[in-house]
Structure 1
Amino acid sequence: MLTTYQRPTVRLTDVIAPAFYPVHQDILDCKHTYYKLDGGRGSTKSSFVSSEIILGMMRDAAAGTITNAVVFRRYKENLHDSVYEQLLWAIDKLGVAGQWKDTISPLRLTYIPTGQTILFRGADKVKKSKSIKVSKGYIKYLWFEELDEFEGSEKIRSIQQSVVRGGEQFTVFYTYNPPKSQRNWVNDPVEFSMPDMMQHHSDYRSVPAAWLGEQFISDAEHLKSVKPEAYRHEYLGEITGTGAEVFTNLTHRTITNEEISHFDHIRRGLDWGYASDPFVYVACNYDKTRRRLYIFDEIYQVRLSNAASARLVRQHNPLNQEVTADSAEPKSIADYRAAGIHIRGARKGPDSVDYGIKWLAEELEEIIIDPDRCPNTWREFYGYELDRDANGNFKAGYPDKNNHTIDAVRYALEDEMHRGGTTIGGW
């Protein structure tokens, strides 16, 4: 035990808002590694994380373990006036300022009794994270502040792979105000998720009013009365959407083998591709009674010859049931027929694209996609949005990009898409 350890001189309830009590206990119990904390203005999530890092490093030192921390922002020039000052606030608020040394060049906080350090880095050059080293112990704590400003989950994973190593236990924090768009990568429940992650949402209503002040509360209530949707997004941290999202009827979940064994209305679609555009095959089941679509199988690959893709389709469709393909490539369809594939070309029509997408988006109660079996299908459906013109208005029609699986599903279901008992778009 390190005799130099100084306990905080204030009660934690004076530093941590009630909404975060369960998260604090979860960290003490070592139940999770990753903590994804989102919320609106005044939710005190950044105050909570800064306090947890200071407390955690001091607690580790008292137990004889030397741990360190690294705090990331998207750009390094934002570090000083945000996370650095926030951690200084936590040190002061906890009453342990005499135990910590702060330096500006380089930007660093040091726990004086043990030499443990908190480092600050920008993520504008990911490769630099590989060179992060500490002289004592290991880096246990990571904090990604304003997560939505980072370029994507791949960059976050790359940083973590470089930093989270060499120790037995880690605590990684992600804090952000949810972007309005449902399609932003941080709001995608599939794009950014981990099995060892606790997700937590908070807003200013669970924070003692005295911490925020009368003016903050007054401003929030005013916005609530004049612009309720803006209030819900800014102060409650709700994902209100931009209105550009096409498919608002999506559900992501595992579709079990047991469920698939009972599917009795399976349809298969195919969209040709080779170089920059992928070859896509999908299998889905349409529940007409409940107007639900289950998408449970996909092939999504570039640079496949017709012979190679036909072999893959036979593997995914061993009973050689009918596949409906884009009719724009009659030679490819002929190659498939020569290979013994039961295939036909989609009938299409002058308005079949717009009608097909609208049917999927509005006529179906639910589109259920298994993100493990069909990751690219989920990504394209979830990310599909209307385009805007230079004035910010929505353009007419649906965009023809990042929609390969959507096209394949349209082809698969074209026989289900009837309008008033007639065929669609001149089919």
Structure 2
Amino acid sequence: MHSIDRRKFLERAAKTTLLAGAATRLSPLFAQQPAPRSPNDNIQLALIGAGIQGQGDTKFALQVPGVKLVAVADCYDGRLTHAKELWGSDIFTTRDYREILKRKDVDAVLIATPDHWHKQAAVDSLRAGKDVYLEKPMIHLYSDGPEIIDAAKSSNRILQVGSQRVSSILYSKAKELLASGAIGKLNMVTARWDRNSSMGAWNYTVPLDASTETCDWPRFQGSAPKMAWNAERFFQWRKWKDYGSGVAGDLFVHLFSGTHFITGSHGPTRAMATGGIRFWKDGRDADDVLLALFDYPEGFNLSLHVNFVDGGEESEGFLFTGSEGLMEIDGRTNTVTVTRTPLAKEPGYTVSTFADAMQKASIAEYRKKYPVPHPGGPPPEGVQAFTAPPGYSDSYDHFSNFFASVRSRQPVVEDATFGFRAAGAALLSNLSVQKDSVVHWNPETMKIV
């Protein structure tokens, strides 16, 4: 995550010729930037789940003008203490998030709990009249999705899911390029998110004071199977299916969010996956290598993989393959690259084996049938690259969009239905591995077939 001074960011963005040749609309950040508000007219925010994601999210949220953190809930006392160190001794802290929901000075909550708490914390918050920013994956179980969607509708509150690529200027540019026909008809998307570090593989640090006195183990377990105190499960919860959703829920869901946003698709209809625990044999039951294939009704296939033992630096990226070129998104450089190689450039290879007269006749007939593509349009060949400004953060944009919706009561950029379709598609991978078979999904009704 990158922190950047707000004024410097806007100055740099204003001076940068962003995404050469792009439309004048740069980003949801600029389109929905909240109007200036007085110091006493803040959105009062509470954090539920103050781990690494919760603290990181909060730092971005508080960069948005007119947002103030007033309360934090977490099951580990050390994180409550650190919340006061980070954001002031006047912050209200508690182990029980329900105490936060009773407070009239809380307008919105940021939920960054373990996955198995997402549904209950979101539903409770919505019913308490709070707007909700819910970290991905939106669901832990398929039954969570309809409950969250219904709670958001019936409470008439704002709910945005936290897959920030939906607010990214980079992904907006990719969406625009695909729609413009820059790579022709899309037929395949390949995406990855690889890591090779103990932190990246979820072996988070267990504090020296971890105990049943400093950690609310019963509250943490929630709906999960009850067992004796286990510090690793408490602080490294992503390694177990009881609390997390594996690499599919942690990382595939980002790749699905990006794919669905760029293509406009609601999701796949068919999935097959394989994987296993290839290296991190430390007691976890979540795979560290996962590969999956998906069929989309729009006529393209999606191939995904995550490797927690990839032997290199963390790597995230997309490759969109079309009939007339390739479009790549490089997560490390924040760059979209389009390489055009139109079809029908030359007749087939075998024409050169014909007699000269037949060669000429065949080529002439070929040109009638396949004229030069896109006359007067984009250049027939070449490479174009579009890079976000230095220090750009889609996380900031995503929170800016969320708070703009909180103020305006207009729809969010990533609502519960979008979030369910992304997470539901991602968890098909786990289901396929579990069943050792192909699984089917209806992306419109959001149900297993």
TM-score range, shorter chain: under 0.3
TM-score (norm 2): 0.27
Larger radius of gyration, structure 1 or 2? Answer: 1
TM-score (norm 1): 0.28
Say which structure, 1 or 2, has more relative contact order (CA 8 Å, 6+ apart).
Answer: 2
